[in-house]
Amino acid sequence: MSNDDFTADEWDDVTAAPVAAAAVISAVDYSALSEQKELDAFHRFFERSAASHSKSQLVQAVFAACAGDDLEAFREICDRVAAQQSGDTPIEDNMRHIGRVARMVEDRASAEEATAYKKFVYDCALLVARAHREHPLPFANPISRKEDFHLRRLGRELRVRS
């Protein structure tokens, strides 16, 4: 499974979903400090998440489209996602959009490929949420309540276990 199985617009949506999921989770608990930590974490762990799904041709194709050698495609996707974050209900709109993209992938890909892709999208959001500790105590949950709530919503949209 690759970008050849989608129209250009559909492929844009498929490649943007991991970035959109991470952006949504970052946006729900915004602070200038956490934003930079989350962005840094996303860059560090995006490759690691893709590697954990290395058997999926679809995830590898998405990763290749997003994280080219010069990262220009990745920046373009980030810019597109940032533009989509505007409006009256950006979080809800993006959550529903990510869910629609997941359904499209389920319709086009094998069950194994679709599951790997949806887990990859979820993992990107989870990594951003874990990027920094929300509470100064060392034993506290690194994920805020808001992030946890929206991660569970994302899991339901993607139909993955969270």
What are the pLDDT digits (tens) for 6-30?
999 999 999 989 888 887 887 776 5
Q: Which of 32-41, 75-84, 117-126 has the lowest mean pLDDT?
A: 32-41
Report the pLDDT averaged over residues 58-78: 70
Share of the chain above pLDDT 70, in %: 70
Domain hosting 151: range is: 6-158
- Output the pLDDT for position 63: 86
Domain-located, residue 115:
yes
pTM across the whole model: 0.82
Distance CA 83, CA 95 (A): 15
Domain-located, residue 39:
yes
Contact 6, 64 (CB under 8 A): no
Domain-located, residue 30:
yes
Among 121, 115, 4, which residue's Cα sits nearest to residue 63?
121
pLDDT interval class at 70 (50, 70, 90): very low
- Quick check: 118 pLDDT over 80? yes
The number of domains in the chain is 1
- Quick check: 131 pLDDT over 70? yes
Cα(first)–Cα(last) distance of the chain, in Å?
A: 25
Domain-located, residue 12:
yes
Domain-located, residue 1:
no
More confident residue, 36 or 71: 36
Domain-located, residue 25:
yes
